[in-house]
Amino acid sequence: MTTTERIRHAIAEAVATSLPELQAVEFDAALTGDIGLDSVQIMDLVMEIEDRLDISIPVDILAEASTLNQLAIQIEALVKDDA
Amino acid sequence: MSLFDKFRPLAEARASLGDHDIPPIATPIDDISSAAEGVIGGLPVILAGTNNYLGLTLDSEVVAAAREALEHFGTGTTGSRMANGSYRAHQALEREIAEAFGWPSAIVFSTGYQANLASISTLAGRDEPLLLDSDSHASIYDGARLGYAETVIFRHNDPDNLDRRLARLGERAKNALIVVEGLYSMLGDQPPLAEFVEIKQRHGAWLLLDEAHSFGAFGRQGLGLAEQLDLLDGVDFIVGTFSKSLGSIGGFCVSPHPELELMRLAARPYIFTASPSPAVIAGTRVALRKLVDGQPLRQQLWQNIHRLYAALNRLGYRLGSDQPGPVVAIILPDRATALAHWRGLLDVGVYANLMIPPATPKGMNLLRISLSAAHTSAHLDHIIESFEHLRLAA
């Protein structure tokens, strides 16, 4: 599994765990606008992703990511920086 | 297109609470009769949602000291602590706070919000690691943003989760600031402080404990949860507020590190705001003496706490914490039920707080009671009877 696949897989699993009410994981949907998440729900989602990837995600990354796709890109950059 | 469009979701959330004359958010209080009673909507109510844990707001000596300072020094200092706003009384209060903890340094701020904003933004500077409990108060999150720290959130009250995040930092953990609260204001729960202290010490990190809601209620001298658990030696900074147990407005940061004094030179929320008014400082100094010597007040407060916890458990309510404390959060299944409970209590003369998302963790709808030493046995009788009637009606 490539790093990109591993990150997207972890995000999908985290969404399923922390937001079970969502029918499908849409990587292009806006987290606040389309999906309607509030700041607390986004924080819960990020903590789930952190646990699955065993990384720490600084909260300022969230300001750069309004969709799951953008979040995946930010996390990939973070993982590469750490490597 | 309007600048105000972005507020539409908030307006919709407010509209969902109905358009009753007495709104559950920012409820207008007509009058205050005592620390525990007031008037809302023209009717007398028991104030059971005012964070006035020791009931000192109308203490005659506190009020007299504030009045005397008001008449002597006037209504305000009209300046920053760095300019003309440092009176001898401001410095005396800082000394008295530091002495209560047995530590060398304390700084007073104009509000509790600014105490966190200043302390966190200054201690955790640009790109320095800052670890926050996920249920932290907004002032803590805002402090993180103001300081441009590298902020990572750990799961609420989860020492292992914090431990893993510190381990990932490696050597940088020695420069990391951890922030936890002594009593969380939404659910009324307490942190596993001994475990957090052990983790902090093992990684060589720094710990800031926000005792906003626990100051006055916990510990023999009322200094908070760290005093109660005999863990003051494990804490680097304690932030507190004057606007709960001390009954006024303002805040402080106190530390065993004398270098805390340097924060005065760098903390923007300290430098660029007017200092607390002389009346506030004078009242707070007397209230602090009463808090430190306030064992009978705490005894009354805890008697009230244990009584209400026992009654709500007996009635089968789901509570935010199984550790009794002055904040009693009742978790209700949805917003409509929470609103019905809030209004049901108000109708029979009990004012509590309605707390709804996004202010609450995990989308919870809460009814929050804050207890006070000023609540009498008759007040508790009435509050408990009101919940019994609500339970029967449900």
Residue B200 clears pLDDT 80, i.e. is over it: yes
Strand order in the sheet with B327-332: B318-319, B327-332, B365-370, B353-355
Quick check: B155 contacting A, CB < 8 Å?
yes
pLDDT at B192 over 70: yes
Q: DSSP assignment of B62-82, as one string?
A: HHHHHHHHHHHH-S---SBTT
pLDDT of residue B96: 98
φ, ψ of residue B339 in degrees (nearest 5): -65, -40
Nearest CB neighbour to A47, from listed B134, B168, B363: B134
Q: CA B283, B103, B373, B133: dihedral to nearest 10 degrees?
A: 110
| Amino acid occupying residue B221 | Q
Closest of B16, B223, B205, B241 to residue B103, by C-alpha: B223
Which tens digit of pLDDT belongs to each residue from B255-292? 999 999 999 999 999 999 999 999 999 999 999 999 99
The verdict on B152 touching A (C-beta cutoff 8 Å) is yes
Which are the contacts of B99, defined by CB distance < 8 A and separation ≥ 6? none
Among B275, B292, B309, the domain-final residue is B292
Helices and strands (H, E) in chain A, number of each type: 4, 0
| Last residue of one domain, picked from the residues B264, B292, B320 | B292
Pairing of strands B129-133, B177-181: parallel
Contact between residue B294 and residue B222 where contact means Cβ atoms under 8 Å apart = yes
Q: Tell me which of B271, B292, B313 is where a domain ends.
A: B292
Contact B164 A54 (CB under 8 A): yes
Residue B150 forms contact with A (CB below 8 Å):
yes
Closest Cα in chain A to B160: A51
CATH number at residue B332: 3.90.1150.10
Cβ distance of A55 and B168 shorter than 8 Å: yes
Q: What is the DSSP letter of B306?
A: H
Q: In this structure, are B90 and B143 located in the same domain?
A: yes
Q: Does B67 lie in the same domain as B20?
A: no
Q: Which residue of A has its CA nearest to B361?
A: A40
Q: DSSP character for B121? A: H
CB B133 within 8 A of CB B180: yes
Q: Per the CB < 8 Å rule, is A58 touching B144? A: no
Q: What is the DSSP letter of B274?
A: B
Q: Do B306 and B359 have their domain in common? A: yes
> Are residues B132 and B120 in contact, defined by beta-carbon separation less than 8 angstroms?
no
Instruction: Sort out which chain A residues have CB atoms less than 8 A from B164's CB and list them.
Output: 54
Domains of chain A and CATH, by start:
3-82 (1.10.1200.10)
Calculate ∠ Cα B372-B96-B256, nearest 5°. 100
Q: How many residues does chain A have?
A: 83
Q: Can you list the pairs that B311-320 forms with residues at least 24 positions away whose Cβ atoms lie under 8 Å?
A: B311/B384, B311/B387, B312/B387, B315/B387, B315/B388, B315/B391, B316/B391, B317/B387, B317/B391, B319/B188, B320/B186, B320/B187, B320/B188, B320/B189, B320/B364, B320/B366
| Residues of B in Cβ contact (< 8 Å) with A39 | 358
B318 touches chain A (CB under 8 A): no
* Numbers of helices and strands, H then E, in chain B: 13, 15
Residue numbers of the domain that contains B314: 5-54+295-393
Residue of B nearest to A57 (CA): B152
Shared-domain flag, residues B184 and B284: yes
Residue showing tokens 């904040």:
B327
Q: How far B161 CA lies from chain A's nearest CA (Å)?
A: 9
Does B164 contact chain A (CB < 8 Å)?
yes
Report how many Cβ contacts below 8 Å link chain A to chain B. 39
3-class DSSP state for residue A7? helix
Are residues B134 and A43, on separate chains, in Cβ contact within 8 Å? yes
Q: Are B325 and B305 in contact (CB under 8 A)?
A: yes
Structural domain total, chain B: 2
Mean pLDDT of B356-378: 93
Q: Verify that B68 and B46 share a domain, yes or no.
A: no
B133 and B157, same structural domain? yes
Scanning B34-73 for CB atoms below 8 A from A yields none
Q: Percentage of chain B surpassing pLDDT 90?
A: 92
Interface touch A41/B363, C-beta < 8 Å: yes
Q: What is the pLDDT at residue B16?
A: 86
For residue B301, give every residue at least 6 positions away whose Cβ sits within 8 Å of its Cβ, in sequence order, or none: B53, B54, B217, B326, B371, B372, B373
- Pair B84, B127 in one domain: yes
Report pLDDT digits (tens) over B10-64. 898 888 888 888 999 999 999 999 999 999 999 999 999 999 999 999 999 999 9
CATH (domain of B223): 3.40.640.10
Yes or no, beta carbons of B362 and A40 under 8 Å apart:
yes
Average pLDDT over chain B, rounded to whole?
Answer: 96
Token couple for B240: 């507190």
Residues B28 and B133 in one domain: no
Confidence of residue B394 (pLDDT cuts 50, 70, 90): low
Do residue B209 and residue B102 come from a single domain? Answer: yes
Please compute, for residue A66, the number of CA atoms within 13 A of its CA located in the half-sphere on the CB side: 4
Average pLDDT over residues B184-208: 98
Shared-domain flag, residues B162 and B310: no
Q: Which residues of B123-160 are buried (b: 16+ CB within 10 A; e: fewer)?
A: bbeeebbbbbbbbbbebbbbbbebbebbbbbbbbbbbe
Q: Is residue B337 domain-shared with residue B201, that is, in the same domain?
A: no
Q: Do B134 and A57 make contact, defined as CB atoms within 8 angstroms?
A: no
Residue A44, phi then psi, degrees to nearest 5: -60, -45
